[in-house]
Amino acid sequence: MTTAPSVPTLRVENLQTHFPTRDGIIRAVDGVSFEVNAGEILGLVGESGSGKSITGFSILGLLDPPGHVAGGSVLFKGEDIVAAAPQRLRQLRGARIAMIFQDPMMTLNPVLRVDTQMIEAVRAHNKVSESAARDRAIETLRAVGIAAPEERLKSYPHQFSGGMRQRVAIAIALLNKPDLIIADEPTTALDVTIQGQILYEMRKLCRETGTALIWITHDLSVVAGLADRVMVMYAGRIVETGSVAEVLEQPRHPYTIGLIGSVPGGTARGHKLFQIPGMAPPPLNLPPGCRFKNRCGFADAACDTMPEMAELSPAHWARCHHPRPAQLAANLAEGGVA
């Protein structure tokens, strides 16, 4: 991290995203702060409902109403884009910050040909002729490994397989050579071999172009093979963050430990898979203090106050009153927490 430039590609500070409902406000993202630098891949991990996808949509200003960013700032290369005019945000979207969605079957418009959907993305940001835009589309499709792109461009999305559609979606994200890509579980819906290929290609593309990448996933094994840094979210808050090697091998937060223990293949052969007891707190009724305390074997009276993020070793932070000792953590993952 010593090579990081002075201004990070993205800097999120104390982000608050709220969904007002009839029964109260859902604080889907509650004070999240982090940075991503050029060429860096950040894995954002959490179970569904942890607020990880909402974090991604908050950055781009693509929340479904009534959801909105209620506080904090999102600085893209130093520019606050939460406060930016809608027109400015539109200029950045797809051009400087691109997004890839979870379900490739749903991301492409079913009634428009692929060329229409790619050319419009180029021409929304560049004053180029249609044929120039088409050339760019062909080139990008080839870069993501689609054979005979000239012909495939004339197809409709339903004529592609799921994996191919996701490649097209990735190609659309890459069209304008963005500085940051936010990928929201893009390989979850695909089968494992295709997932592997796409992960490999994404990593290569980021390294070559210096694009920063935020990879949102619930799958720790994906993060292990792809990311430089990892950030674990639970109930709208970050609970642990650090380099992939540190967090996955020496997790300090009981939740991260439980998460690692529940990954098949993460434990030694013959050991029973671990399951974190209980359920995530209802988002409308979050407990005061540590949000993990009702599922945590180490919780005590201290946990009734919200712990702050603390740097336990260089660049490795966790939000816990009782962080587990680094050397014990790997064993705990096998034995269970409770």
Partner 1 sequence: MLVFIIRRLLQSALVVAVMSVLVFVGIYLIGDPLAILASPEASEIDREEIARALGLDRPLWEQYMTFIGSAFVGEFGKSFVFGQPAMGLILERMPATLELAITATLMAFFIGVPLGVYAGLRHESAGAQAIMAGSILGFSLPNFWVGLMLIMIFAVQLGWMPASGRGPTTEVFGLQLSIFSAKGWHHILLPAITLALSKCALIIRLARATAREVMLMDYVKFARAKGLSERRVIGVHILKNIMVPVATVTGLELGALIAFAVITETIFSWPGMGKLLIDSITQLDRPVIVAYLIVVVFMLVAINLVVDILYSVLDPRVRLGGAQ
Partner 2 sequence: MSQTGTTQTAAPAAAAVSETPLLRIWREFAESKLALFGLGLFIVSLLAALLAPWIVPQNPYDLATLDIMDSRMPPGSLSGDNMVFLLGSDGQGRDMLSAMLYGLRISLFVGVVAVGLALAIGAVAGIAAAYIGGRTDTVIMRIVDIQLSFPAILVALILLAVLGNGVDKVIIALVTVQWAYFARTARGAALVERNKEYVEAARCLGLKRPRILLRHLLPNCMPSLIVIGTVDIARSITLEATLSFLGLGVPVTEPSLGMLIANGFDYLLSGVYWISMFPGIALTIVIVAINLVGDRLRDVLNPRLKR
In the complex, which residues of this chain contact partner 1 (CB under 8 A)?
A: 60, 62, 64, 90-95, 98-99, 101-103, 106-113, 120-121, 124-125, 156, 158, 169, 172
* Residue 151 interacting entry, from partner 2, partner 1, none, C-beta within 5 to 8 Å by type: none
Of 278, 277, 292, nearest in space to 322 by CA: 292
Q: Which is nearer to partner 1, 121 or 220 (CB)?
A: 121
* Residue 244 interacting entry, from partner 1, partner 2, none, C-beta within 5 to 8 Å by type: none
Rounded to the nearest 10°, the torsion over CA 12, 80, 186, 247 is -10
CB of residue 277 to partner 2, shortest distance in Å: 18
CB of residue 178 to partner 1, shortest distance in Å: 10
Q: Contact between 283 and partner 2 (CB under 8 A)? A: yes
* Residue 28 interacting entry, from partner 2, partner 1, none, C-beta within 5 to 8 Å by type: partner 2
Among 10, 28, 114, 224, binds partner 2 (CB under 8 A): 28
Q: Which one of 76-84, 132-140, 157-165, 282-290 is the stretch in contact with partner 2 (CB under 8 A)?
A: 282-290
Q: Which is nearer to partner 2, 57 or 274 (CB)?
A: 57
Among 53, 140, 176, 250, binds partner 2 (CB under 8 A): 53
Among 284, 302, 328, 338, binds partner 2 (CB under 8 A): 284
Q: Contact between 107 and partner 2 (CB under 8 A)? A: no
Of 122, 138, 229, 130, nearest in space to 178 by CA: 122
Q: Which one of 19-27, 90-98, 136-144, 325-333 is the stretch in contact with partner 2 (CB under 8 A)?
A: 19-27
* Residue 109 interacting entry, from partner 1, partner 2, none, C-beta within 5 to 8 Å by type: partner 1
* Residue 90 interacting entry, from partner 2, partner 1, none, C-beta within 5 to 8 Å by type: partner 1
Q: Contact between 64 and partner 2 (CB under 8 A)? A: yes
Contact set with partner 2 (CB under 8 A)? 19, 21, 23, 26, 28, 48-49, 53-54, 57, 64, 282-285
